[in-house]
Amino acid sequence: MSATDIVELSVRAAADAIAAGSLSSLELFDAYQARAAADRAAGEAGLNCFTWVAAKAPEDHGGAPLHGVPLAVKDLFCTEGVPSQSGSRILEGYEPPYTATVVSRLSEAGASLLGKTNQDEFAMGSSNENSAFGVVRNPWDRERVPGGSSGGSAAAVAAGLAPWALGTDTGGSIRQPAALCGIVGLKPTYGSVSRYGMIAFASSLDQAGPLTRDVGDAALLLRHMVGRDECDATSLEFPHEIESPTAERLDGVRLGVPEELTGEGIEQGVLEAFTATLDRARELGAEVQAVGLPHAPHALSAYYLIAPAEASSNLARFDGVRYGHRAPGASDLLDMYTRTRHDGFGAEVKRRIMLGTYALSSGYYDAYYGRAQRVRTKVADDFRGAFAEVDFIVTPTSPTVAFRLGERTGDPLAMYLSDFCTVPMSLAGIPAISIPCGLSEGLPVGLQIAGPAFSENRLLDVAHGLEQAIGFDGSAARV
Protein backbone atom coordinates (compact mmCIF):
# COMPACT_ATOMS: atom_id res chain seq x y z
CA MET A 1 0.00 0.00 0.00
CA SER A 2 1.45 3.39 -1.00
CA ALA A 3 1.90 6.24 1.48
CA THR A 4 -0.79 8.20 -0.41
CA ASP A 5 -3.27 5.33 -0.06
CA ILE A 6 -2.42 4.94 3.62
CA VAL A 7 -3.15 8.60 4.35
CA GLU A 8 -6.61 8.32 2.77
CA LEU A 9 -7.65 5.53 5.17
CA SER A 10 -9.94 6.32 8.06
CA VAL A 11 -8.52 5.40 11.44
CA ARG A 12 -10.97 2.52 11.70
CA ALA A 13 -9.91 1.18 8.29
CA ALA A 14 -6.23 1.55 9.19
CA ALA A 15 -6.72 -0.27 12.49
CA ASP A 16 -8.60 -3.06 10.71
CA ALA A 17 -5.81 -3.36 8.13
CA ILE A 18 -3.23 -3.65 10.91
CA ALA A 19 -5.31 -6.30 12.67
CA ALA A 20 -5.64 -8.21 9.39
CA GLY A 21 -1.91 -8.02 8.70
CA SER A 22 -2.18 -6.07 5.42
CA LEU A 23 -0.61 -2.98 7.01
CA SER A 24 1.86 -2.63 9.86
CA SER A 25 1.65 -0.01 12.59
CA LEU A 26 5.21 1.02 11.67
CA GLU A 27 4.23 1.63 8.03
CA LEU A 28 1.28 3.73 9.18
CA PHE A 29 3.38 5.74 11.62
CA ASP A 30 6.19 6.31 9.11
CA ALA A 31 3.76 7.55 6.45
CA TYR A 32 2.38 10.24 8.76
CA GLN A 33 5.69 11.01 10.47
CA ALA A 34 7.30 11.84 7.12
CA ARG A 35 4.47 14.21 6.22
CA ALA A 36 4.34 15.87 9.65
CA ALA A 37 8.12 16.26 9.82
CA ALA A 38 8.22 17.85 6.36
CA ASP A 39 5.58 20.39 7.38
CA ARG A 40 7.43 21.07 10.63
CA ALA A 41 10.70 21.62 8.74
CA ALA A 42 8.98 24.03 6.34
CA GLY A 43 7.78 26.25 9.22
CA GLU A 44 5.54 29.06 8.05
CA ALA A 45 6.34 28.19 4.43
CA GLY A 46 4.18 25.14 5.07
CA LEU A 47 1.04 24.95 7.17
CA ASN A 48 3.03 25.22 10.43
CA CYS A 49 0.76 22.70 12.17
CA PHE A 50 3.36 21.16 14.48
CA THR A 51 5.61 22.52 17.23
CA TRP A 52 7.28 19.11 17.77
CA VAL A 53 7.25 15.84 15.81
CA ALA A 54 8.33 12.44 17.12
CA ALA A 55 11.50 11.13 15.46
CA LYS A 56 10.39 7.50 15.42
CA ALA A 57 7.53 5.21 16.32
CA PRO A 58 7.24 4.01 19.91
CA GLU A 59 7.51 0.34 20.79
CA ASP A 60 4.93 -2.14 19.50
CA HIS A 61 1.54 -1.87 21.19
CA GLY A 62 0.90 -5.60 21.24
CA GLY A 63 -2.63 -5.73 19.87
CA ALA A 64 -4.03 -2.80 21.87
CA PRO A 65 -7.37 -1.57 20.43
CA LEU A 66 -5.90 1.44 18.62
CA HIS A 67 -3.08 -0.65 17.07
CA GLY A 68 -0.43 2.09 17.24
CA VAL A 69 -2.39 4.60 15.12
CA PRO A 70 -0.53 7.96 15.29
CA LEU A 71 -2.14 10.75 17.31
CA ALA A 72 -1.45 14.49 17.07
CA VAL A 73 -1.85 16.27 20.41
CA LYS A 74 -2.54 19.96 21.01
CA ASP A 75 0.43 21.60 22.70
CA LEU A 76 -1.41 22.43 25.93
CA PHE A 77 -1.58 18.76 26.98
CA CYS A 78 1.34 17.95 29.25
CA THR A 79 3.44 15.09 27.87
CA GLU A 80 6.34 13.83 29.94
CA GLY A 81 9.73 14.70 28.46
CA VAL A 82 8.20 16.36 25.39
CA PRO A 83 7.85 20.15 24.86
CA SER A 84 4.44 21.30 26.15
CA GLN A 85 4.33 25.04 25.56
CA SER A 86 0.68 26.02 25.06
CA GLY A 87 1.70 28.28 22.20
CA SER A 88 3.51 30.67 24.57
CA ARG A 89 7.06 32.03 24.89
CA ILE A 90 6.68 31.88 28.65
CA LEU A 91 6.68 28.06 28.40
CA GLU A 92 9.08 27.73 25.46
CA GLY A 93 10.95 24.45 25.75
CA TYR A 94 9.13 23.36 28.91
CA GLU A 95 9.09 19.56 29.33
CA PRO A 96 6.67 18.39 32.05
CA PRO A 97 7.53 15.57 34.48
CA TYR A 98 4.13 13.94 33.92
CA THR A 99 1.53 13.26 31.20
CA ALA A 100 -2.08 14.44 30.96
CA THR A 101 -4.61 11.75 31.88
CA VAL A 102 -6.35 11.77 28.49
CA VAL A 103 -3.03 11.35 26.65
CA SER A 104 -2.05 8.52 28.99
CA ARG A 105 -5.39 6.77 28.42
CA LEU A 106 -5.02 6.97 24.67
CA SER A 107 -1.45 5.74 24.86
CA GLU A 108 -2.58 2.78 26.97
CA ALA A 109 -5.24 2.07 24.34
CA GLY A 110 -2.51 1.87 21.70
CA ALA A 111 -2.26 5.37 20.20
CA SER A 112 1.26 6.53 19.26
CA LEU A 113 2.25 10.14 19.89
CA LEU A 114 2.97 11.64 16.47
CA GLY A 115 3.57 15.24 17.49
CA LYS A 116 2.40 18.35 19.34
CA THR A 117 0.25 20.78 17.37
CA ASN A 118 0.42 24.55 17.17
CA GLN A 119 -2.31 26.61 18.83
CA ASP A 120 -3.34 30.08 19.91
CA GLU A 121 -1.40 31.02 23.03
CA PHE A 122 -3.02 29.44 26.11
CA ALA A 123 -5.98 28.58 23.84
CA MET A 124 -6.95 32.25 23.55
CA GLY A 125 -7.99 32.91 19.99
CA SER A 126 -10.20 31.96 17.06
CA SER A 127 -7.67 32.06 14.23
CA ASN A 128 -4.38 30.49 15.40
CA GLU A 129 -2.66 33.82 14.75
CA ASN A 130 -1.83 34.31 18.44
CA SER A 131 0.75 31.54 18.70
CA ALA A 132 4.27 32.49 19.73
CA PHE A 133 5.45 29.89 17.20
CA GLY A 134 3.87 31.43 14.11
CA VAL A 135 0.50 31.36 12.41
CA VAL A 136 -1.08 28.14 11.14
CA ARG A 137 -2.43 28.19 7.60
CA ASN A 138 -5.66 26.64 6.34
CA PRO A 139 -4.95 23.75 3.91
CA TRP A 140 -7.95 24.78 1.78
CA ASP A 141 -6.39 28.23 1.20
CA ARG A 142 -3.01 29.10 2.72
CA GLU A 143 -3.87 32.77 2.87
CA ARG A 144 -6.70 32.02 5.30
CA VAL A 145 -6.88 31.04 8.96
CA PRO A 146 -7.65 27.48 10.11
CA GLY A 147 -9.66 28.71 13.10
CA GLY A 148 -8.60 28.43 16.70
CA SER A 149 -7.49 27.77 19.20
CA SER A 150 -7.01 24.14 18.05
CA GLY A 151 -6.03 25.31 14.57
CA GLY A 152 -2.88 23.19 14.33
CA SER A 153 -4.79 20.03 15.19
CA ALA A 154 -7.61 20.81 12.73
CA ALA A 155 -5.32 21.78 9.86
CA ALA A 156 -3.11 18.71 10.40
CA VAL A 157 -6.08 16.34 10.19
CA ALA A 158 -7.61 18.10 7.18
CA ALA A 159 -4.28 18.16 5.33
CA GLY A 160 -3.52 14.48 5.96
CA LEU A 161 -0.57 15.21 8.25
CA ALA A 162 -2.27 13.26 11.06
CA PRO A 163 -5.11 10.72 10.99
CA TRP A 164 -6.76 12.33 14.02
CA ALA A 165 -5.92 14.77 16.79
CA LEU A 166 -6.70 15.94 20.28
CA GLY A 167 -7.96 19.48 20.79
CA THR A 168 -9.59 21.48 23.54
CA ASP A 169 -12.77 23.52 23.47
CA THR A 170 -13.41 26.41 25.87
CA GLY A 171 -15.79 28.49 23.78
CA GLY A 172 -15.61 26.73 20.41
CA SER A 173 -11.92 25.90 19.98
CA ILE A 174 -12.57 22.40 18.61
CA ARG A 175 -15.78 23.05 16.70
CA GLN A 176 -14.88 26.33 14.98
CA PRO A 177 -11.53 25.16 13.48
CA ALA A 178 -13.18 21.86 12.51
CA ALA A 179 -15.77 23.86 10.56
CA LEU A 180 -13.19 26.10 8.88
CA CYS A 181 -11.00 23.12 7.90
CA GLY A 182 -13.80 20.81 6.74
CA ILE A 183 -13.45 18.05 9.35
CA VAL A 184 -15.36 16.71 12.38
CA GLY A 185 -14.87 18.25 15.83
CA LEU A 186 -16.63 17.19 19.03
CA LYS A 187 -16.87 19.01 22.36
CA PRO A 188 -18.04 16.40 24.89
CA THR A 189 -20.20 17.02 27.95
CA TYR A 190 -18.24 19.06 30.48
CA GLY A 191 -16.60 16.72 33.01
CA SER A 192 -16.78 13.62 30.83
CA VAL A 193 -13.07 13.87 29.97
CA SER A 194 -10.39 14.54 32.59
CA ARG A 195 -8.73 17.95 32.52
CA TYR A 196 -5.73 16.74 34.54
CA GLY A 197 -2.58 17.73 32.70
CA MET A 198 -4.29 20.25 30.44
CA ILE A 199 -2.66 23.67 30.81
CA ALA A 200 -5.70 25.59 32.00
CA PHE A 201 -7.37 28.57 30.37
CA ALA A 202 -10.84 28.68 31.97
CA SER A 203 -11.36 25.73 34.29
CA SER A 204 -15.17 25.72 34.32
CA LEU A 205 -15.26 25.65 30.51
CA ASP A 206 -12.19 23.78 29.19
CA GLN A 207 -12.91 20.35 27.74
CA ALA A 208 -10.80 18.00 25.62
CA GLY A 209 -12.24 16.38 22.51
CA PRO A 210 -11.45 14.71 19.18
CA LEU A 211 -10.78 16.20 15.75
CA THR A 212 -11.19 13.62 12.99
CA ARG A 213 -12.06 13.23 9.33
CA ASP A 214 -15.33 11.44 10.01
CA VAL A 215 -17.84 10.85 12.78
CA GLY A 216 -16.98 7.18 13.23
CA ASP A 217 -13.37 8.04 14.07
CA ALA A 218 -14.56 10.70 16.53
CA ALA A 219 -16.61 8.08 18.36
CA LEU A 220 -13.65 5.70 18.47
CA LEU A 221 -11.29 8.30 19.93
CA LEU A 222 -13.87 9.54 22.43
CA ARG A 223 -14.49 5.97 23.66
CA HIS A 224 -10.94 5.85 25.02
CA MET A 225 -11.00 9.38 26.47
CA VAL A 226 -14.04 9.52 28.75
CA GLY A 227 -14.29 8.51 32.39
CA ARG A 228 -13.75 9.53 35.99
CA ASP A 229 -10.24 10.52 37.04
CA GLU A 230 -9.19 10.84 40.67
CA CYS A 231 -6.79 13.59 39.65
CA ASP A 232 -9.66 15.81 38.40
CA ALA A 233 -12.41 16.57 40.91
CA THR A 234 -14.69 17.87 38.14
CA SER A 235 -14.51 14.66 36.10
CA LEU A 236 -17.49 12.31 35.96
CA GLU A 237 -18.05 8.65 35.27
CA PHE A 238 -19.58 8.44 31.81
CA PRO A 239 -22.97 6.64 32.14
CA HIS A 240 -22.47 4.32 29.15
CA GLU A 241 -19.87 3.17 26.65
CA ILE A 242 -19.39 5.27 23.54
CA GLU A 243 -20.68 3.22 20.62
CA SER A 244 -19.86 3.28 16.91
CA PRO A 245 -22.53 5.31 15.09
CA THR A 246 -24.57 3.41 12.53
CA ALA A 247 -27.67 5.53 11.77
CA GLU A 248 -28.60 5.93 8.12
CA ARG A 249 -31.93 7.65 8.68
CA LEU A 250 -33.23 10.23 11.16
CA ASP A 251 -36.83 9.06 11.44
CA GLY A 252 -38.52 10.69 14.44
CA VAL A 253 -35.52 12.82 15.40
CA ARG A 254 -36.64 16.34 16.33
CA LEU A 255 -34.19 19.08 15.35
CA GLY A 256 -34.61 22.58 16.77
CA VAL A 257 -33.43 25.67 14.88
CA PRO A 258 -32.95 28.72 17.14
CA GLU A 259 -33.58 32.01 15.35
CA GLU A 260 -31.20 33.71 17.78
CA LEU A 261 -28.20 31.77 16.35
CA THR A 262 -29.23 31.45 12.71
CA GLY A 263 -30.18 34.97 11.68
CA GLU A 264 -28.33 38.27 11.57
CA GLY A 265 -24.55 38.02 11.28
CA ILE A 266 -24.45 34.70 9.42
CA GLU A 267 -22.88 34.90 5.94
CA GLN A 268 -25.27 34.23 3.09
CA GLY A 269 -23.25 31.31 1.74
CA VAL A 270 -23.10 29.72 5.19
CA LEU A 271 -26.87 30.11 5.58
CA GLU A 272 -27.49 28.53 2.18
CA ALA A 273 -25.38 25.47 3.08
CA PHE A 274 -27.12 25.27 6.47
CA THR A 275 -30.60 25.48 4.91
CA ALA A 276 -29.73 22.83 2.34
CA THR A 277 -28.60 20.54 5.17
CA LEU A 278 -31.91 21.03 6.99
CA ASP A 279 -33.67 19.95 3.80
CA ARG A 280 -31.43 16.86 3.70
CA ALA A 281 -32.35 16.10 7.33
CA ARG A 282 -36.05 16.27 6.47
CA GLU A 283 -35.47 13.84 3.58
CA LEU A 284 -33.91 11.44 6.10
CA GLY A 285 -37.03 11.60 8.25
CA ALA A 286 -36.14 14.27 10.79
CA GLU A 287 -38.66 16.81 12.06
CA VAL A 288 -37.29 20.36 11.90
CA GLN A 289 -38.90 23.11 13.94
CA ALA A 290 -38.14 26.52 15.40
CA VAL A 291 -37.06 26.69 19.01
CA GLY A 292 -36.25 29.59 21.31
CA LEU A 293 -32.96 30.33 23.09
CA PRO A 294 -33.76 33.88 24.24
CA HIS A 295 -30.55 34.42 26.25
CA ALA A 296 -28.18 32.99 23.60
CA PRO A 297 -27.34 36.43 22.13
CA HIS A 298 -25.96 37.43 25.55
CA ALA A 299 -23.76 34.34 25.87
CA LEU A 300 -20.76 35.86 24.11
CA SER A 301 -20.68 38.85 26.47
CA ALA A 302 -20.94 36.58 29.50
CA TYR A 303 -18.25 34.28 28.16
CA TYR A 304 -15.79 37.13 27.65
CA LEU A 305 -16.12 38.00 31.33
CA ILE A 306 -16.12 34.48 32.80
CA ALA A 307 -13.30 33.04 30.70
CA PRO A 308 -10.86 35.96 31.18
CA ALA A 309 -11.63 36.04 34.92
CA GLU A 310 -10.70 32.36 35.23
CA ALA A 311 -7.68 32.89 32.98
CA SER A 312 -6.50 35.72 35.25
CA SER A 313 -6.45 33.24 38.13
CA ASN A 314 -5.01 30.28 36.20
CA LEU A 315 -2.20 32.22 34.55
CA ALA A 316 -1.01 33.72 37.85
CA ARG A 317 1.22 30.62 38.22
CA PHE A 318 3.40 31.74 35.31
CA ASP A 319 5.66 34.03 37.29
CA GLY A 320 9.18 32.94 36.31
CA VAL A 321 9.80 31.25 39.66
CA ARG A 322 9.02 27.55 39.29
CA TYR A 323 9.16 26.76 35.57
CA GLY A 324 9.19 28.34 32.16
CA HIS A 325 10.78 31.61 31.09
CA ARG A 326 12.45 33.93 33.62
CA ALA A 327 13.49 37.37 32.40
CA PRO A 328 17.12 38.27 33.16
CA GLY A 329 18.35 41.46 34.77
CA ALA A 330 15.56 41.99 37.30
CA SER A 331 16.37 44.22 40.29
CA ASP A 332 13.88 42.58 42.68
CA LEU A 333 11.03 40.05 42.77
CA LEU A 334 8.35 42.43 41.47
CA ASP A 335 10.61 43.52 38.63
CA MET A 336 11.24 39.86 37.76
CA TYR A 337 7.48 39.17 37.64
CA THR A 338 6.89 42.22 35.48
CA ARG A 339 9.71 41.55 33.01
CA THR A 340 8.90 37.84 32.74
CA ARG A 341 5.24 38.39 31.94
CA HIS A 342 5.98 41.30 29.63
CA ASP A 343 8.37 39.16 27.59
CA GLY A 344 6.52 35.85 27.90
CA PHE A 345 2.87 36.70 27.26
CA GLY A 346 1.49 37.82 23.90
CA ALA A 347 -0.88 40.74 23.34
CA GLU A 348 -4.13 38.72 23.39
CA VAL A 349 -3.21 36.91 26.61
CA LYS A 350 -2.32 40.22 28.26
CA ARG A 351 -5.63 41.70 27.09
CA ARG A 352 -7.64 38.88 28.63
CA ILE A 353 -5.67 38.85 31.89
CA MET A 354 -6.31 42.57 32.28
CA LEU A 355 -10.00 42.18 31.48
CA GLY A 356 -10.37 39.25 33.87
CA THR A 357 -8.48 40.93 36.68
CA TYR A 358 -10.67 44.01 36.36
CA ALA A 359 -13.85 41.91 36.38
CA LEU A 360 -12.74 40.24 39.63
CA SER A 361 -11.53 43.40 41.35
CA SER A 362 -13.11 44.80 44.50
CA GLY A 363 -16.28 46.73 43.75
CA TYR A 364 -16.73 45.22 40.31
CA TYR A 365 -16.97 41.47 41.01
CA ASP A 366 -20.74 41.28 41.31
CA ALA A 367 -21.43 43.87 38.61
CA TYR A 368 -19.40 41.96 36.03
CA TYR A 369 -18.36 38.40 36.95
CA GLY A 370 -21.40 37.73 39.14
CA ARG A 371 -23.82 39.04 36.53
CA ALA A 372 -22.11 37.01 33.80
CA GLN A 373 -22.57 33.87 35.87
CA ARG A 374 -26.26 34.62 36.23
CA VAL A 375 -26.52 34.97 32.45
CA ARG A 376 -24.76 31.61 32.18
CA THR A 377 -27.47 30.05 34.31
CA LYS A 378 -30.16 31.57 32.08
CA VAL A 379 -28.45 30.18 28.97
CA ALA A 380 -28.35 26.69 30.51
CA ASP A 381 -32.03 27.03 31.48
CA ASP A 382 -32.88 27.95 27.87
CA PHE A 383 -31.28 24.74 26.62
CA ARG A 384 -33.12 22.64 29.20
CA GLY A 385 -36.40 24.18 28.06
CA ALA A 386 -35.55 23.64 24.40
CA PHE A 387 -34.65 19.99 24.95
CA ALA A 388 -38.11 19.41 26.38
CA GLU A 389 -39.42 20.24 22.88
CA VAL A 390 -36.70 18.83 20.59
CA ASP A 391 -33.95 16.22 20.69
CA PHE A 392 -31.12 18.35 19.30
CA ILE A 393 -30.30 21.97 18.47
CA VAL A 394 -28.77 22.69 15.04
CA THR A 395 -26.96 25.86 13.95
CA PRO A 396 -24.11 26.87 11.68
CA THR A 397 -20.86 26.24 13.56
CA SER A 398 -19.20 29.47 12.45
CA PRO A 399 -20.96 32.58 11.14
CA THR A 400 -18.42 32.73 8.31
CA VAL A 401 -16.08 30.54 6.32
CA ALA A 402 -12.33 30.87 6.96
CA PHE A 403 -11.31 34.52 6.83
CA ARG A 404 -8.00 35.88 5.54
CA LEU A 405 -4.87 35.98 7.67
CA GLY A 406 -4.60 39.38 9.36
CA GLU A 407 -8.17 40.34 8.49
CA ARG A 408 -9.37 40.52 12.12
CA THR A 409 -6.20 40.85 14.18
CA GLY A 410 -6.76 44.59 14.62
CA ASP A 411 -10.42 44.17 15.64
CA PRO A 412 -10.77 41.92 18.72
CA LEU A 413 -14.58 42.21 18.73
CA ALA A 414 -14.84 40.92 15.15
CA MET A 415 -12.54 38.04 16.15
CA TYR A 416 -14.64 37.22 19.22
CA LEU A 417 -17.79 37.09 17.08
CA SER A 418 -16.32 34.01 15.37
CA ASP A 419 -17.52 32.07 18.43
CA PHE A 420 -21.04 33.49 18.46
CA CYS A 421 -22.70 30.15 17.63
CA THR A 422 -20.48 27.91 19.77
CA VAL A 423 -20.17 29.77 23.08
CA PRO A 424 -23.74 29.11 24.35
CA MET A 425 -23.14 25.33 24.38
CA SER A 426 -19.88 25.81 26.28
CA LEU A 427 -21.57 27.92 28.96
CA ALA A 428 -24.25 25.24 29.34
CA GLY A 429 -21.67 22.41 29.48
CA ILE A 430 -23.51 20.33 26.88
CA PRO A 431 -22.02 18.24 24.04
CA ALA A 432 -21.86 19.63 20.53
CA ILE A 433 -20.35 18.38 17.29
CA SER A 434 -19.41 20.13 14.06
CA ILE A 435 -19.51 18.26 10.75
CA PRO A 436 -18.79 19.65 7.28
CA CYS A 437 -22.02 20.30 5.39
CA GLY A 438 -20.91 21.92 2.15
CA LEU A 439 -18.87 24.69 0.59
CA SER A 440 -19.25 28.45 0.26
CA GLU A 441 -16.82 30.29 -2.00
CA GLY A 442 -14.92 27.01 -2.28
CA LEU A 443 -14.37 26.86 1.50
CA PRO A 444 -15.91 24.45 4.04
CA VAL A 445 -19.05 25.24 6.04
CA GLY A 446 -19.72 23.53 9.35
CA LEU A 447 -23.02 22.29 10.80
CA GLN A 448 -23.24 22.27 14.61
CA ILE A 449 -25.47 19.74 16.40
CA ALA A 450 -25.90 20.07 20.19
CA GLY A 451 -27.66 17.74 22.60
CA PRO A 452 -28.40 17.33 26.32
CA ALA A 453 -25.63 16.31 28.72
CA PHE A 454 -24.30 12.78 28.09
CA SER A 455 -26.26 12.38 24.84
CA GLU A 456 -23.05 11.71 22.89
CA ASN A 457 -24.16 8.36 21.46
CA ARG A 458 -27.37 9.75 19.95
CA LEU A 459 -25.54 12.91 18.90
CA LEU A 460 -22.90 10.87 17.06
CA ASP A 461 -25.62 8.76 15.42
CA VAL A 462 -27.46 11.82 14.08
CA ALA A 463 -24.19 13.36 12.89
CA HIS A 464 -23.24 10.10 11.17
CA GLY A 465 -26.58 9.86 9.38
CA LEU A 466 -26.26 13.39 8.06
CA GLU A 467 -22.59 12.88 7.18
CA GLN A 468 -23.44 9.89 5.01
CA ALA A 469 -26.20 11.78 3.23
CA ILE A 470 -24.08 14.91 2.67
CA GLY A 471 -21.09 12.98 1.32
CA PHE A 472 -18.61 15.80 1.88
CA ASP A 473 -15.25 15.28 0.13
CA GLY A 474 -12.32 16.77 2.02
CA SER A 475 -9.58 15.39 -0.21
CA ALA A 476 -8.97 18.83 -1.75
CA ALA A 477 -7.27 19.87 1.49
CA ARG A 478 -4.64 17.09 1.48
CA VAL A 479 -1.10 18.37 0.99
Do residues 149 and 414 make contact, with C-beta atoms less than 8 angstroms apart? no
Rounded distance between C-alpha atoms, residue 173 and residue 377, angstroms: 22
Rounded to the nearest 5°, which phi and psi values hold at 393?
A: -105, 135
- Of 387, 474, 410, the closest CA to residue 438 belongs to 474
Q: Residue 323, exposed/middle/buried by CB under 10 A (0-12, 13-18, 19+)?
A: middle
Total number of residues shown for the chain: 479
- Of 421, 135, 472, 393, the closest CA to residue 267 belongs to 421
Q: Is 116 an annotated catalytic residue?
A: no
Q: Which residue(s) pair with 138 in the sheet?
A: 141
Q: Angle of helix 299-314 relative to helix 371-386, nearest 10 degrees?
A: 130
Q: Angle of helix 11-20 relative to helix 25-42, nearest 10 degrees?
A: 140
Do residues 180 and 174 make contact, with C-beta atoms less than 8 angstroms apart? no
Rounded distance between C-alpha atoms, residue 463 and residue 285, angstroms: 14
> Which of 25, 149, 235, 312 does the annotation list as catalytic?
149
> Which of 74, 126, 187, 418 does the annotation list as catalytic?
74
Q: Is 149 an annotated catalytic residue?
A: yes
Peptide bond into 149 cis (omega under 30): yes
Cα dihedral 145/146/148/154 (nearest 10): -170
Q: Is 173 an annotated catalytic residue?
A: yes
Residues assigned a catalytic role: 74, 149, 173
